[in-house]
Homo-oligomer: A and B are copies of this chain.
Amino acid sequence: MPDLEQALGEIAAEMAEAPDRGKVATYIPQLGKVNVKKFGIAVVTNDGRTLTAGDADDPFSIQSISKVFTLTLALGEKGDALWKRVGREPSGNPFNSIVQLEHEHGIPRNPFINAGAIVVSDILLAGHRPRETIGEILRFIRFLADDDAIVIDDAVAASEQATGFRNFALANYMKSFGNLTHAPELALGVYFHHCAIAITCRQLANAGRFLAHGGRHPATGHSVVSAERARRISALMLTCGHYDGSGDFAFRVGIPGKSGVGGGILGIVPGIASLAVWSPGLNANGNSQLGSLALEKLARIMGWSIFSPR
């Protein structure tokens, strides 16, 4: 069995030197200020070890990775009825495409593209004020990560609120088809805030543990979701977790993952480990350039692909 600590160290050293680091997202002004040199990685194994390398304790903007947690929460509240309002197919389009919505009458392809996550936010709003729902999401992620230090970066939320015209377009468009029950700005208020959570690699890897543990919270043993639902959320991460680069990530890395434009990626090796990597430069599909590469190398060294013989 390869040595995980050594592998992480080698990968972090290699990534520190990598010349082609991708481009930091600038469409959210706050994100554009991040140092492209940053690279961090954290692994929490199912047998309880936590290993990190690089800038694993630097907070970064969680962005779309938060969609894994809001989906989990919404499935818990709404159950499979959620799938009447959101599909579960790869979109074949960029993360913020509106074309598919027109052809499919306001039903987003899956909960991990922006439109789908806005519907999930709308579902979580039911009966609450945005502030309450935002609080509930934050508490849920803190609970999963066993870490009350996780906070929302209000400057990022405000930045998205002020410039997220594309998301306003998506929300209003779905509203016009009746697929939002609240006012678009309310669902977006929730959405912008959960995307603005600041989190470190260590915290994120901890928050993902329940998926590596078949749905159970490892610290308490209690079930967060059923084993079947954990599998299904993982399957969605594999087929839809990297937008229009999901097929390539499955092909090269071979584990369920969810990326965000902040440069983070959450990876799950079922039964073995929860991983988080962060490097702010993005590739053409909007996924972390070095983060993807690091996970590819790590999965290969450790033999972690879910497509390997077990």
Chain A residues near B (Cβ < 8 Å): 46, 87-93, 97-103, 109-110, 165-166, 168-173, 175-176, 184, 212-214, 227-228, 230-232, 234-236, 238-240, 244-248, 250-252, 254, 256, 270-272, 300, 305-310
Contact = CB atoms under 8 A, between A and B. Distances in A.
Contacts of A252: 232
Q: Could you tell me the dominant secondary structure of chain A's interface residues?
A: helix
Contacts of A245: 89
Contact of A176 (B166, B176, B234, B246): B166
Given A236-B251, A250-B239, A309 B89 contact: no
Contacts of A213: 309
Q: Which of A97, A168, A184, A227 has the most CB of B within 10 A?
A: A168
B166 A172 contact: yes
Contact of A256 (B89, B176, B307): B307
A236 to B, nearest CB: 6
A91 to B, nearest CB: 5
A252 to B, nearest CB: 8
Given A246-B239, A272-B310, A169 B165 contact: no
